[in-house]
Amino acid sequence: MSVLTAWQFLITQGHDVVNPLQPEQHVPVPLHGRTVLVNGAAGGVGHLALQLVKWRGARVIAVASGVREAMLRDLGADAFVDYSRAAPEDEIRDVDLVVDAVGGAKSPRFLRTLKPGGALFPIFGLGYEDNGEAARLGITVSTTQVRSSGAQLAEIAPLLNDGTLRVAIDSVYPLADASRAHERAAKGHLAGKILLKVT
Ligand SMILES: NC(=O)c1ccc[n+]([C@@H]2O[C@H](COP(=O)([O-])OP(=O)(O)OC[C@H]3O[C@@H](n4cnc5c(N)ncnc54)[C@H](OP(=O)(O)O)[C@@H]3O)[C@@H](O)[C@H]2O)c1
């Protein structure tokens, strides 16, 4: 679902089911030649979003904790901000798109990092309070809820096969230890995905 989330936000939504998070359908924006900031870039959705925007020809600024810099540069980040050292919304200006894979109530802080005409996509759309600032700045704020899609997974599979998209593995647990995997997830600060081993 992480890769489908990134795909449906960034490439094509691929369905016309009513968006439960906003009245209008989410529409991806052009990426080629644009500058995109990905917040929460080390997480399950974030590290795949980063790679999709690189694949589509954008320059990417990754925001994560400092320990993730090498991983994210290896995945294609052109620039990196360690949010524990500097607030990205104060450091970065004039980006075309912010993909906020942390999202929530703090997402509006990224409005000031965007160009007029830019877009902010909070992946976790709940808690975003629109006080009219986005409209004043000419910025589109849009979110959506992922839907399963075999057709989109079939489009994505070749990108995984040829290494265009790489899935970072945070940790591996036997299926019988799935409760430990949940404990790991609850601690947060994931680097990619947790894998459950069936055999
Ligand atoms: N709209 C949808 O359909 C949809 C679908 C899937 C997920 N989501 C939502 O999207 C969010 C991300 O999901 P996920 O599966 O990618 O989560 P995740 O794997 O837990 O990743 C979250 C990442 O955020 C980083 N992070 C935490 N605090 C941060 C901060 N202040 N600034 C920057 N990075 C920070 C964490 O690592 P570091 O702190 O070490 O950098 C972690 O890598 C969740 O809220 C989830 O509920 C929405």
| Residue 63 CB less than 6 A away from ligand 1 | yes
Q: Please tell me whether residues 54 and 124 are part of one structural domain.
A: yes
Q: 143 Cβ partners below 8 Å, 6+ apart?
A: 9, 19, 21, 22, 26, 103, 121, 122, 123, 125, 128
| Residue 8 CB less than 6 A away from ligand 1 | no
Q: Please tell me whether residues 135 and 79 are part of one structural domain.
A: yes
Distance 45 CA to ligand 1 centre (A): 7
pLDDT confidence of residue 159: 98
Range of the domain at 198: 168-199
User: What does the mean pLDDT of the chain come to?
Assistant: 96
Domain annotation covers residue 80 = yes
Q: Please tell me whether residues 44 and 94 are part of one structural domain.
A: yes
Domain annotation covers residue 52 = yes
Number of domains in the chain: 2
Domain annotation covers residue 162 = no
Closest CA to 65 of 81, 47, 44: 81
Work out the percent of the chain whose per-residue pLDDT is above 90.
95
In this predicted model, what pLDDT tens digit does every residue of 72-88 receive, in sequence order? Answer: 999 999 999 999 999 99
Distance 190 CA to ligand 1 centre (A): 8
**Token pair belonging to 99:** 């993909």
Burial of 24 (0-12, 13-18, 19+ CB in 10 A): exposed
Q: Please tell me whether residues 42 and 98 are part of one structural domain.
A: yes
pLDDT confidence of residue 145: 96
Q: Please tell me whether residues 129 and 58 are part of one structural domain.
A: yes
Report the pLDDT averaged over residues 132-154.
96
Instruction: Point out which residues pair with 52 in neighbouring strands.
Output: none
* pLDDT beyond 90 at 35: yes
Report the pLDDT averaged over residues 99-117.
96
Report the pLDDT averaged over residues 108-125.
97
* pLDDT beyond 90 at 131: no
